[in-house]
């Protein structure tokens, strides 16, 4: 799960710096007044979300499988604890 989060943050950071560069050279419009940072953050989120969805599909599925396995183990422990309580 940590690997997926770090990879997702990396894609966001890459998009942020690429967009910041495009705004700096004038290829993209600047925000109004002091909103330039907010403008670039919003653009980076909008661009990085679909990229992460496509590029990290395999990693996301692996992370999901890990979460499902942990939940199943927790359910099994809970069920065994309940059965032990019923026996007492």
- H/E stretch holding 69 reads helix 57-87
The burial class, CB within 10 Å (0-12 / 13-18 / 19+), for 80 is exposed
Q: Is the pLDDT of residue 64 over 80?
A: yes
Give the number of other Cβ atoms within 10 Å of residue 18's Cβ: 15
| Rounded distance between C-alpha atoms, residue 86 and residue 88, angstroms | 5
Question: pLDDT category, 12, cuts 50, 70, 90?
Answer: very high
* Count of the separate structural domains present in the chain: 1
Q: CB-based contacts of 36: which residues, under 8 Å, 6+ apart?
A: 23, 30
Q: Which domain holds residue 69?
A: 2-87
Q: Is the pLDDT of residue 19 over 70?
A: yes
Q: For 6-33, what is the mean pLDDT?
A: 90
Q: Is the pLDDT of residue 29 over 90?
A: no
């Amino acid at each position: 799960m940590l690997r997926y989060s770090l990879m997702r943050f990396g894609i966001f950071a890459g998009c942020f710096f690429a967009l910041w560069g495009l705004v700096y050279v004038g290829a993209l419009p600047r925000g109004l007044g002091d909103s330039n940072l907010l403008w670039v953050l919003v653009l980076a989120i909008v661009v990085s979300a679909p990229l992460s969805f496509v590029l990290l599909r395999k990693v996301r599925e692996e992370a999901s499988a890990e979460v499902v396995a942990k939940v199943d183990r927790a359910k099994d422990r809970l069920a065994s604890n309940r059965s032990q309580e019923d026996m007492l």
